[in-house]
Amino acid sequence: MTAEAVTRLQRRILDFIASFLQERGFPPTLGEIGEECGVANRSSVDYHLGALERAGLVRRSQSRHRGLELLAHPFRLPVLGRVGAGRGLIAEEDVEEHLVLDKRIVRGADFLLRVKGDSMIGAGILEGDLVQVRRQSSGEDGDIVVALVGEDGVVKRLRRGGHAWRLDSENPKDAPITAEFQVVGKVVGLIRRYGK
């Protein structure tokens, strides 16, 4: 089992452990987890903690009361196949899936966008990669951004030329975009999957 494959109940347990730790400074007992998450018996809680441990999200110590350590605190991010124009930035019909990721990996991202095409190969962004995007309506010269050009969402490098802004590709075969555009996010990271 991977961090991506946790069930809804296991996610709830993980969230409860994290908030309990933050509020009280020590982990909850099996009974407290069961009571909060609606799990009637402790053996069921233990089963779900075992699944979270196999996923590398928690570590249990049988020799200590409250022997539970949170290794990572993941959260769900939507993966978009495209950025929607006019319907709001994240339209439900554009969400391909949700990924459960560790906060330390995603560095403030609000969503993931699946890259299509090869216009950013010079920046090391390949087709099929997931770029981590933080919502914002502006950027600085040199930032890699997600922008709307008409109805299309694009990933490009934001450049200032004199008083005008443009969107540059990182592929010499593509011309800069000088048409009107709207920045909707800044790329803050990248996830690449290998294999199927």
153, HSE (Cβ side, Cα atoms, 13 Å): 26
Q: Where are the beta strands (DSSP E) in the chain?
A: 58-60, 68-70, 74-80, 95-102, 111-114, 130-135, 144-149, 152-161, 164-168, 182-191
Residue 37 near residue 12, CB atoms below 8 Å: yes
DSSP-based three-state secondary structure for 4: helix
176 backbone dihedrals φ, ψ, rounded to 5°: -65, 155
Tokens 């962004």 sit on residue: 125
Please name which of 169, 66, 67, 73 lies closest in space to residue 115, comparing C-alpha atoms.
Answer: 169
Which of the following is catalytic: 63, 119, 137, 196? 119
156 is catalytic: yes
Which of the following is catalytic: 43, 156, 173, 196? 156
138 is catalytic: no
Catalytic residues: 119, 156
